[in-house]
Amino acid sequence: MRKIAEQAGASRVRIRANGANGTLDGGNGIRSRTSGIPGGASGTPGGNGTATADRGDRYRWIALSNTTLSMTMATIDGSIVIIAMPAIFRGIHLNPTAPGNIGYLLWIIIGYLLVTAVLVVTFGRLGDMFGRVRIYNLGFVVFTLASIGLSLDPLTGDSGALWLIGGRLIQATGGAMLMANSAAILTDAFPANQRGRALGINQIAGISGQFVGLLLGGLLAAWDWRAVFWVNVPIGVFGTVWAYRSLREIATTRRASIDWAGNVTFALGAAALLAAITYGIQPYGGHATGWTSPRVIGGLAGGTALLVAFGIIETKIAEPMFRMALFRIRAFAAGNAASLLGSMARGGLQFMLVIWLAGIWLPLHGYDYVVTPLWAGIYMLPLTAGFLIAGPVSGWLSDKYGPRLFATAGLLVAACAFTGLMLLPVDFPYWLFALIIFGNGIGSGLFASPNTSAIMSSVPARDRGAASGMRSTFQNSGMSLSIGLFFSLMIAGLAAALPSTLSRGLRAQGVSPAVASHIAHLPPVSTLFSALLGYNPIRNLLQNSGEIAKLPAKNLAALTNRQYFPHLISGPFHHGLVIVFSAAIAMSVIGALISLLRGRQFYYDDSPASPDVAKSAAQETIPAAPATAAATTAGTAISARAEVKP
């Protein structure tokens, strides 16, 4: 028989929520402690009256505004170069669709995602150790300086491309510092019953930034390609000054030794795995993709082995970088698994839609290839609108009714939208396309806010930085995996159907059989990227073969007009779309099932219990299982069972 300690706030507590009303019904294996968060700043009991509460309330919205600005800036840069790539490569005098240059193209786009996926968990852990605000502020500085360096690229050709890749990797390092700690700063600042709305606004701003970047990249690149990077500079300077002047450390930091073994094995393993996936998209030998390349196979095997070693290391050391014990919390484990699958379903979507619009639909409707990337971003605005509408609303509703219903429904709505896209004809009525992608945005918005809130609310305050980094790692890794998966599936679909279709079409317009066969059997990746970047794919292929000078003007005009390529590729492309969207549907449905298993609303609260709770608890005696005591935490009435730990 054990008795409840008279001072409940001094005891170590194990809690798990049961029900949307916040009742607690058991342990989760992670013990909480008092975090030292001031009542006025965090919303927990113990504030110094109205003035302190007002200051705390004002600080919350400052933290939300600043972190939302940083997340939007960081995620916009993940996609802003996609539409601007033709202007960037013209500026450095390099043809991005030439076989030897596709690697530069991929690394400028995907390298940013790879670095953020690898480093966010490290910077989240460092935030727990040295201060989340300190690491976050440093991220603003690094990001801004890297943006200046990118805009000043003095080189051309291969050297200019390598400068841009290096600058993007440094920029991504700053972005990882911001992403890793923004959610933890908000979780510290907001009480449990307001976190869903705050994290919803923050996360939806970040996710929608990926799609805003497409439009912004097109608009700025039409003026000057360097403006794509200059646009971050005033925002970064303003955000840096504002963050240093306004943000403060709320949670207590815990100095500990750095987990060098864990950091090195994770960074090398994740980098090898994601880099191998990037190289897998590129052709190798006579194959359409590079999955049979020794470099890719070695990267996949070596990366997997290093990540297995990392998992073993993290269970053996006292202060691990990756808190494996957090996965004992069902809400945390299920939320991250659902986030990974949701990111994989959503991550490659923007590339597929840009290729569909820029390479097929817009040329069929009279748009010149030069402007199709910009208009593709404009025509995708309903997707962004769905994010912006659903995110804050679902966050607010999840604060009241719990996250499980909204997160699960969001993934199911996204699965329905993927089904609608799969059933659309290649030349679709725009109103129907807009409605479907708006629904996809609604589904992703419904999922993102409650899921993030559920993950961040389920962990002790001392581990929120690490938890935020782990959450971002799963999300960003899902994006990188998705791009590799979607492109590989699309290329496989095109490789099965495109060669015969393209060969017949070229021969019908007078292209010699040998050249037609050679062009038709080129890796489809160059055709895909030509469409993605606003190049006329047929003209690009004919120029590389030297056939343009030999063709009669009439035949050349027929081959290079705006409608020829879309009509030619529409059948094989739709075959690829069916494969890609089928995979997205499967991942969304599996993610929804995992989300459904997360359990009901769960807030891990480290704040001391009120005196009334302590008095009531002191009168209880615990036999084999803990008894129930009334508690009030974070301004929400809940029932708790507290168990004294010796």
List, for residues 332-377, the tens digit of each pLDDT value.
Answer: 999 999 999 998 888 778 778 888 998 889 988 988 877 887 888 8
In the three-class reduction of DSSP (H, G, I as helix; E, B as strand; rest coil), residue 91 is classed as: helix
Residue 195 CA, distance from chain mean position: 20
Task: Tell me what pLDDT residue 34 has.
Answer: 35
Q: What angle do CA 31, 37, 38 make, to 5 degrees?
A: 145
**Which ranges constitute the DSSP H helices of 509-643?**
513-520, 524-533, 537-545, 553-560, 564-596, 611-618
Task: Tell me what pLDDT residue 606 has.
Answer: 52
Distance CA(401)–CA(411), nearest Å, equals 18
Task: Tell me what pLDDT residue 145 has.
Answer: 95
Please state, in angstroms and as integers, the Cα–Cα distance from residue 155 to each residue in 151, 161, 223, 376, 416, following that order.
11, 8, 20, 30, 47
CATH tag for 53-256+319-493+571-596 (out of 3.40.50.720, 1.20.1250.20, 3.40.50.920, 3.40.309.10):
1.20.1250.20
Q: Please identify every stretch of the chain with a pLDDT value under 50, giving residue numbers as ranges.
A: 1-49, 607-646
Burial 63-74 (b: 16+ CB within 10 A, else e): bbebbbbbbbbb
Distance CA(121)–CA(135), nearest Å, equals 12
* The overall pTM is greater than 0.85: no
Please state, in angstroms and as integers, the Cα–Cα distance from residue 161 to each residue in 27, 64, 102, 153, following that order.
53, 36, 11, 9
Q: What is the largest CA-CA distance in the chain?
A: 97
Instruction: Take residue 325 and report the two structure tokens written for it.
Output: 């014990």
Q: Give the residue from 9, 6, 24 showing the smallest Cα distance to 626.
A: 24
**2-3/636-640 β-pairing:** unpaired
- Half-sphere exposure in the Cβ direction for 111 (13 Å, CA): 19
Q: What is residue 426's DSSP assignment?
A: S
Beta bridge partners of 632: 637
Amino acid at 339: S
Task: Tell me what pLDDT residue 592 has.
Answer: 95
Q: Which phi and psi angles does 28 have, rounded to 5°?
A: -120, 5
H or E segment to which residue 346 belongs:
helix 330-347
Distance CA(279)–CA(301), nearest Å, equals 14
| Residue in the structure block whose two tokens are 């199911």 | 412
Name the packing angle between helices 464-508 and 430-457 (round to 10°): 160
Task: Tell me what pLDDT residue 94 has.
Answer: 85
Q: Give the residue from 367, 526, 383 showing the smallest Cα distance to 441.
A: 383
Kindly report, as residue ranges, where domains of CATH 1.20.1250.20 are found in the chain: 53-256+319-493+571-596
Task: Tell me what pLDDT residue 27 has.
Answer: 37
Amino acid at 346: R
CB 348 within 8 A of CB 303: no
Q: Give the residue from 237, 108, 245 showing the smallest Cα distance to 166.
A: 108
Q: Is 223 exposed, middle or buried (0-12, 13-18, 19+ CB in 10 A)?
A: exposed
CB 614 within 8 A of CB 633: no
**End-to-end CA gap in the chain:** 12
The answer for residues whose C-beta is within 8 angstroms of residue 512's C-beta and 6 or more apart is 547, 550
The answer for residues whose C-beta is within 8 angstroms of residue 191's C-beta and 6 or more apart is 42, 43, 44, 634, 635, 636
Amino acid at 510: G
Task: Tell me what pLDDT residue 276 has.
Answer: 87
